[in-house]
A and B are shown apart, each in its own frame.
Chain A
Amino acid sequence: MAASKKNSKRKFRGEVYIDQERCKGCGFCIEFCPTHVLALADSFNQKGYYPPVIADIEACTGCDLCGMYCPDFAIYGVKIRLDVVQEEANHEC
């Protein structure tokens, strides 16, 4: 536990889930992400839209604003507690 506190003061880390085939490429999530986690993909999906891809997952706080802005329910963020993850890792050891 002491080591995890030393490495990072963050209590949470973020995770973003993207359903690329459901995306219509409006770009709201990329524009309004407060920490600029997302970027436009280089390739298009089956319907011909360019979905978002994760460019910088380290910056993600899991605030889920991308999920609130998505008109097609194709993306959402979750907060993951770092101390819980760390404890689980310790138990496994």
Chain B
Amino acid sequence: MSKATNPVESYLRMDRMPSIWCPGCGIGIVVNCFARALQQMGVDHDELAVVSGIGCTGRIAGYVDIDSFHTTHGRPIPFATGLKVARPDLKVIVMSGEGDLVSIGGNHLIHAARRNSDVKVICVNNFTYAMTGGQAGPTAPRHSIATTAPYGSFDKPFNLPFLADSTGAVYVARWTTYHVRQLTRSMAEAMSKPGFCFIEVISPCPTIFSRRNRLGDGLDAMRYYKNSSKVVNGANTRMVGLDLNGPIIVGKFIDRDRPTLLEAMDEEIGSKLGKRYVPYATTGVQR
């Protein structure tokens, strides 16, 4: 067979493969879709930076052949905001899990959305803290079994699109790892849109979440996504909460325009200082 190379290899560090992710895990699909989105957009490697936190999904930063940060737990969004302020010409992408972004980093998420910091957040949601052994995470559905909820979780889980929408994100979408083409398109859209964009990707976790809840392997989870998901673009995010084994509403929910952090700063301070102020968002730091 011919030795043609995989088209996504130019965006990945193939010397680090195989990845640490379990067979049937969906995080590899997210990386695959991300690389394909970059390829479709024709983005140069130097035009973007990837920031990720801690956890299974946090390992993405090590596998992309792009400038990347692997930050401390929960802090990818502050790192990314700082990076964007220092280098406004970069596209800054945060890829991390829900245990990183929404629990320990929850405050950073809502405030970055409120200020409309120009970072693109791709949040891989597998409903559990997979790397530390399966504790109940902030999105663990009611009645799901976890290490810290042996009789079933009784807390109300976060509805991530609603959280992002209500705190002011300009682009909110949810896809599963089954919807690869839509996810790729959505990533490309988010990367070309200024402002705080939030994409939730529901991903199978065969080793921890599915095993404890007796839901089968990764393929069973993908079949469930195929059969139970419904695309409703523009759906009311209040109504898109998830239940264990319930229907999954996916789609692009929010697409609106608001001034970003740097634009708002330029406008406000520029109106006060007049010509003494050099607009920041347009010129960036003089290097």
Query: Which residues on A are within 8 Å of B, measured CB to CB?
Result: 15, 17-19, 22, 24-28, 31-32, 47, 49, 65, 67-73, 76, 78
In the complex, what residues of B have CB within 8 A of residue A19's CB? 6
- Contact of A22 with B33 in the complex, beta carbons under 8 Å: no
Task: Name the one of B6, B23, B217 contacting A76, with C-beta atoms under 8 angstroms.
Answer: B6
Query: Which residues on B are within 8 Å of A, measured CB to CB?
Result: 1-2, 4, 6-9, 12, 14, 17-19, 21-29, 31-33, 36, 178, 180-181, 184, 217-219, 222-223
| A61–B14 alpha-carbon span in the complex (Å) | 27
Knowing A68-B36, A71-B25, the reply to whether A32 touches B222 (Cβ < 8 A) is yes
| Contact count A vs B, C-beta below 8 Å | 76
In the complex, what residues of A have CB within 8 A of residue B33's CB? 68
Task: Name the one of B19, B23, B31 contacting A49, with C-beta atoms under 8 angstroms.
Answer: B23
- Contact of A17 with B24 in the complex, beta carbons under 8 Å: no
| A32–B225 alpha-carbon span in the complex (Å) | 12
In the complex, what residues of B have CB within 8 A of residue A69's CB? 29, 32, 180
- Contact of A71 with B32 in the complex, beta carbons under 8 Å: yes
Knowing A31-B222, A32-B222, A65-B180, the reply to whether A24 touches B36 (Cβ < 8 A) is no
- Contact of A72 with B19 in the complex, beta carbons under 8 Å: yes
- Contact of A17 with B4 in the complex, beta carbons under 8 Å: yes
